[in-house]
Amino acid sequence: MTGSATGGYDLVVVANRLPVDRKEEPGGTTTWAPSPGGLVAALEPIMRGHDGAWVGWEGAPGDASEAFDTQSMHLVPVPLGEEEVEHYYEGMSNATLWPLYHDVIVQPRFHRHWWDSYVRVNWRFAQAVARQAIRGATVWVQDYQLQLVPRMLRDIRPDLRIGFFNHIPFPPYEIYAQLPWRRQVINGLLGADLLGFQRPADAANFQRACRRSGLLTRRGEVLVPDDSGRRRSVHAAAFPISVDAATLEEAARRPEVAERARAIRRELGDPDVVLLGVDRLDYTKGIPHRLKAVSELYDDGRLARPGTVFVQVATPSRERVESYQALRDEVEVTVGRINGVHGLLGKPAVHYLHQSFPRAELAALYLAADVLLVTALRDGMNLVAKEYVASRFDEGGALVLSEFTGASIELAQAYLVNPHDIDGLKNQIVNAVRDAPREKARRMRAMRRRVRQYDVERWAEDFLRALDRLDPDDAEGPATPRLAVAVGGSADSDR
Ligand code: ADQ
């Protein structure tokens, strides 16, 4: 798609973060580096194929930089002040919505001044999008930080076609209901024409929350009364996100990556078995659970030492949020304890790297690992599992995968686990290590087929095509007064 002469774009992606981070170099110059994370990894290939605009925050508080063009897109920074970073981002997004939407693994915190900031910042994003979009443009809003943007945008730009994709789970109503602003969030989301979720269960949870707010739903649609008394139809469905499988495989096939994978094994002391974990350091990822399982397997002698090593790569994440600091402490104490018992001079039992790695190094790690451990307690999808599968062109390796990831629906041939069941998790790790290579290759082949067929390009195409196909005049006759009243703010009723 092409930016028009007036500077408008007909595809605008809006996400909390731009796909780049601003870095201030000594001497006062500004440089931009690609920013890590699931969302960027997923959307970058799509933007590369379009000439669209991406609206988002540049990752540091203060005034926004000027909009600028990269090879693949027009980037429009949205500013956040220090206090907004604290209240909208670290607070409402990361300490309220994130834990609430992930099964309250840690207790969500509800603060009215965080919510006020969330509303203000969502409005700023909506206005920035409205300035970029040409008449009739498609806008694709990303994720839980911007749930009010669809409604705000529809109010100021009813000509737009609006899609929203939720990268994280949508919780069961019994949990969602804790949110003091549950009605406002539903109302915000329902400004979209199409709402995409990772799993059918997320779409179903959302529809149930709509019913509990007094709205009618039918087969994947929510009927939303508008001011004229007609009902607009908002579609809600699952679009499981994926990875750029071809590019990942291509990277893994490079001779220098294979060489690096061999070097990694050498540096680890040529063990028989390499276990690997790759995550943002987040309490949803179940890192303590896998450390417990591995530690007990070392204790039991079911995983031999020093023949087995575990490499845990944990990207620093949300370091100013308290629960993340507590998790980091817990992980680091546990790693120290395991190494204290099972380490040898120069041969630790767990290699813990609190670092972000370049893509090529990750590819080499994936190739070097006999088993990848994904033990999330709740995860919208988990791209790391799909990246591992996409990289294993040799059909080697084995994937231990939590049932509580969106990925487990598609990757059913993985060694599936309930990470809370430590004995079950230990057994599956042992199976993944000991099963015959033929059995592992059979599983890997089936998973690779799926990841190659349904890659990130397919995901984006499916979503954008579904959005494109919707009839904007898809409204129905007058809504019943009861519905109109319910949306206007009556009490919840489960029907
Ligand atoms: P995340 O919670 O960030 O994403 P995930 O899907 O696993 O989780 O994506 C993480 C990304 O960061 C991967 O691309 C991975 O390669 C990269 N990464 C992890 N550790 C790294 C390291 N040390 N160095 C460099 N890169 C690293 C959210 C949701 C997920 C959902 C995605 C996409 O929580 O459930 O799958 O969005 O929708």
C-beta of 381 in contact with ligand 1 (< 6 A) = yes
Confidence of residue 48 (pLDDT cuts 50, 70, 90): low
Query: What's the gap in Å between 377 CA and the centre of ligand 1?
Result: 15
The answer to whether the beta carbons of residues 370 and 274 sit under 8 Å apart is yes
Mean of the per-residue pLDDT values for the chain? 91
The tens digit of pLDDT for each residue in 163-202 reads 999 999 999 999 999 999 999 999 999 999 999 999 999 9
Query: What's the gap in Å between 382 CA and the centre of ligand 1?
Result: 7
Confidence of residue 69 (pLDDT cuts 50, 70, 90): confident
209 contacts: CB under 8 Å, gap ≥ 6: 170, 173, 176, 182, 186
Nearest to 285 by CA among 419, 410, 181, 472: 419
The tens digit of pLDDT for each residue in 365-387 reads 999 999 999 999 999 999 999 99
C-beta of 287 in contact with ligand 1 (< 6 A) = no
pLDDT value for 172: 98
pLDDT value for 52: 86
Residue 489, pLDDT above cutoff 50? no
Instruction: Tell me the three state secondary structure of residue 181.
Output: coil
Query: What's the gap in Å between 368 CA and the centre of ligand 1?
Result: 19
| Ramachandran sector of residue 104 (left: φ over 0; alpha: ψ -120 to 50; beta: rest) | left
pTM assigned to the model: 0.92
**How many CA within 13 A on the CB side of residue 83?**
6
Average pLDDT over residues 267-280: 97
Average pLDDT over residues 123-127: 98
**Looking at per-residue confidence, does 477 or 458 come out higher?**
458
Residue with the nearest Cα to atom 38 of ligand 1?
A: 167
**Measured from the CA of 384, which atom of ligand 1 is nearest?**
7
- Which of 277-286, 401-410, 465-474 shows the lowest per-residue confidence on average (mean pLDDT)? 465-474
pLDDT value for 457: 86
Please name the amino acid found at residue 94: N
DSSP 79-125: -B-HHHIIIIIIIIIIIIIHHHHTTTSS-----HHHHHHHHHHHHHH
Q: Before 306, cis peptide (omega within 30)?
A: yes
The tens digit of pLDDT for each residue in 387-428 reads 999 999 999 999 999 999 999 999 999 999 999 999 999 999
Residue 492, pLDDT above cutoff 50? no
Dig out the tokens for 119 from the structure: 């509303």
Confidence of residue 476 (pLDDT cuts 50, 70, 90): low
Query: What's the gap in Å between 88 CA and the centre of ligand 1?
Result: 22
Helix H, strand E, coil C: the string for 229-274 is CEEEEEEEEECCCCCCHHHHHHHHHCHHHHHHHHHHHHHCCCCCEE
**Measured from the CA of 358, which atom of ligand 1 is nearest?**
25
Residue with the nearest Cα to atom 12 of ligand 1?
A: 37
Query: What's the gap in Å between 137 CA and the centre of ligand 1?
Result: 29
Confidence of residue 85 (pLDDT cuts 50, 70, 90): very high
Please name the amino acid found at residue 327: L
What is the C-alpha separation between 231 and 486, in angstroms, rounded? Answer: 13
* Strand ranges in 336-462 using DSSP code E only, listed in sequence order: 350-353, 371-374, 398-402, 415-417
pLDDT value for 145: 98
C-beta of 185 in contact with ligand 1 (< 6 A) = no
Residue 488, pLDDT above cutoff 60? no
Q: Within 10 A of 244 (CB to CB), how many other CB atoms are there? A: 21
124 contacts: CB under 8 Å, gap ≥ 6: 78, 79
What is the C-alpha separation between 488 and 467, in angstroms, rounded? Answer: 27
* Segment of 229-233, 242-246, 293-297 carrying the highest mean pLDDT: 293-297
Residue 491, pLDDT above cutoff 50? no
pLDDT value for 479: 38
Percent of the chain with pLDDT over 90: 79
Query: What's the gap in Å between 462 CA and the centre of ligand 1?
Result: 21
Instruction: Tell me the three state secondary structure of residue 139.
Output: strand
The answer to whether the beta carbons of residues 239 and 467 sit under 8 Å apart is no
Confidence of residue 45 (pLDDT cuts 50, 70, 90): low
Q: Within 10 A of 330 (CB to CB), how many other CB atoms are there? A: 14
Residue 224, pLDDT above cutoff 50? yes
- Which of 32-41, 107-116, 423-432 shows the lowest per-residue confidence on average (mean pLDDT)? 32-41
pLDDT value for 226: 83
C-beta of 41 in contact with ligand 1 (< 6 A) = yes
Percent of the chain with pLDDT over 70: 91
The tens digit of pLDDT for each residue in 423-468 reads 999 999 999 999 999 999 999 999 999 999 999 889 998 999 999 9
pLDDT value for 474: 55
**Measured from the CA of 387, which atom of ligand 1 is nearest?**
16
